[in-house]
Structure formats: C-alpha cells, structure tokens
Amino acid sequence: MLNSIRHRVCHDLLQGRVLTRSSIRSVENAQRPRPDLSKAQNIVRCYASPSTEAAAATQGITLKRSTDTYLTTNVKDLLSLDNRVVVITGGGRGIGLALAFAVAEAGAKVAIIDAADQPHEHYYRLESICSMVKYYQSDVTAYEKLQTTFASIASDFGRMDGL
C-alpha cells in the first residue's frame, strides 16, 4: 500500500496537483488541468513506477529512483534555521544562552529575553557568530511589559518563527 501511495504522490506531482490526505485517497477520480511544465525542474527525485517514469519522459522530466534518501540527504539542510527568528526567554546566561548559541549555529537570528539588566559576558561571543542577535531586558511574569518586548522584537526582526 505504501508503494501505491508513493506512486500516486509522484503522479500528482507530475500533474501539478496540491496534495492533502483526502486528495491522496481520491486522486484517481480527480480531473484537473495539466500544468505548464516548461519551467519545471528537469529532475524529480521520488519513488516512481515504470509507468510514471514513461509518462514523465514524454514531458521531458527525468525521474530518479531513490530508496535511500536517508543516505543522501544532508541533515544540516533538514534542520537548518537559516534566516529564522528564534526568541529565547532566560537566554541571558546558562542553559538559555547555550540554546541561543545552538540556534545561532544552525543559522537563526536570535532575540534573547532575560530579567537581568546585562547578559553574561559570553553573550558578546554570540554576537560575533550570529547574523543578528539582540538582548531585551524584560520580566516574563509582567504581562504588559512582555507585550511591549514582543512588539519590539517584531519591529526589530520583522517576524518570530520560534519561541
């Protein structure tokens, strides 16, 4: 059954369909127009049956069979936080600061909230490895002050992707 679902998913990708759980179940009954594949990538990596490969070949698309993607996928790309904004409470020192270093190394921009007036001295090392890091002095138990802090973070970074 799993191979059947993979076959349908690849088939739908070639047809340009957007997949949901219900559309996977009803893919054989769906009638949608064919997309313009002239701008599509010429190589699609997925699980494909010979009939799907033949259909793809007629449209100039080469399918590569891949049953070992876990061996060829770069984990760093899968877990990358490039250009994501992560807010860390309690990040002025200790475990929170260590977490800030971790997400910064994964490519994130870091907003640190802490009750202390000044961060630990290691915070300044973080500034040298992170593309954008900012320290906000705030109390997470004071709701109004925290709202103001989050408004400042949204203004400075443009968005928040993780807390």
DSSP line for 9-57: HHHHHHHTPPP-HHHHHTTTT---PPP-GGGS-SEEES---HHHHHHHH
Lowest mean pLDDT among 18-22, 93-97, 131-135, 143-147: 18-22
pLDDT at 149 over 80: yes
Mean pLDDT of 71-78: 70
Mean pLDDT of 67-95: 81
Gap between the terminal Cα atoms of the chain: 38
Higher per-residue pLDDT: 29 or 121:
121
**pLDDT for the residue numbered 58:** 72
Alpha carbon distance 112, 122 (integer Å):
13
Most confident of 18-32, 34-48, 142-156: 142-156
Amino acid at 59: Q
Q: Are 11 and 34 in contact (CB under 8 A)?
A: no
CA distances from 148 to 22, 54, 133 (A): 42, 59, 18
**pLDDT for the residue numbered 83:** 86
Amino acid at 41: Q
Higher per-residue pLDDT: 101 or 58:
101
Q: Which residues pair with 135 in a beta bridge?
A: 112
Whole-structure pTM value: 0.54
Lowest mean pLDDT among 78-87, 110-119, 123-132: 78-87
